[in-house]
Amino acid sequence: MRKLLLLLSVLAAAAPLAVNAQEPQSVRAASPTLDIGGAFSLSTHNGQRLTDADLKGKPYALFFGFTHCPEVCPTTLFELTGALATLGADADKLAAFFVTVDPERDTQEHLASYLGAFDDRIIGLRGTDEETAAIARSFKATYRKIPLDGGDYTMDHTAVIYLMDREGRFFDKIDYREDHKSQLEKLRRLLASG
């Protein structure tokens, strides 16, 4: 009996570890599907609280990144800025979000100043570590910290732009460095949807 109790307590202690160890794998294995998206709650770079419920009725584009990103994020933001400019006033019907996966360095002030270089319709979002993990999980996005020499670090992260319809459902995605024409076409289809 004592042995059984010991075994049970060992199993109970090991269970949360097993769940944690499995989680990243299942997230990594998943490819974008209709199951993408869901409830979230984050803070904007203007300090307002934003949840998925606030976006009901408005299609949106969302992607994950971090302001210290050397290439992927600035390129994506630059291209999105160009696409929004081409769409003109139509783009006002769309919301666009840059969710930081590096809330440690990307403070609200830092996000605001970084995004000042891009279309002002792109809103920065940040959360606690838990909130960041939660939205990444619901979008099946991954990110991880990569230590650099000298104690610095960079972030590896999913680079697609998620296009969500006005009901908050996954509509389509734009891949990193996708052809400009194709990006515009997808954004136009999203605006015209349901």
Nearer to Ni ion, 59 or 174 (CB): 174
Nearer to Ni ion, 160 or 164 (CB): 160
Subset of residues 124 to 183 that bind Ni ion, contact rule: CB under 5 A = none
The contact pattern for Ni ion, residues 17-36, with x = CB under 5 A and - = no contact, is: --------------------
Residue 83, interface with Ni ion (CB under 5 A)? no
Strand segments (E) across 68-176: 95-100, 122-126, 143-147, 153-157, 161-164, 170-174
Structure tokens at 65: 């990144």
Eight-class DSSP state of 24 = H
HSE, side-chain direction, 13 A CA sphere, residue 168: 12
Residue 111, interface with Ni ion (CB under 5 A)? no
**Which residue is nearest to Ni ion, using beta carbons?**
69
Nearer to Ni ion, 50 or 73 (CB): 73
The dihedrals phi and psi of 160, each to the nearest 5 degrees, come to -85, 155
HSE, side-chain direction, 13 A CA sphere, residue 174: 28
- 37, 59, 65, 127: which one binds Ni ion (CB under 5 A): 65
Number of residues that bind Ni ion (CB under 5 A): 4
- 61, 62, 73, 136: which one binds Ni ion (CB under 5 A): 73
Residue 69, interface with Ni ion (CB under 5 A)? yes
Binding part of the chain for Ni ion, among 6-14, 29-37, 57-65, 178-186 by CB under 5 A, reads 57-65
Amino acid identity, position 99: V
Binding part of the chain for Ni ion, among 22-30, 52-60, 68-76, 130-138 by CB under 5 A, reads 68-76
Eight-class DSSP state of 91 = G
Give the helix/strand (H/E) hosting 43.
strand 41-44
- 72, 135, 163, 174: which one binds Ni ion (CB under 5 A): 72
Asked whether the CA dihedral 42, 47, 53, 55 is positive or negative, the reply is negative
Residues that bind Ni ion (CB under 5 A): 65, 69, 72-73
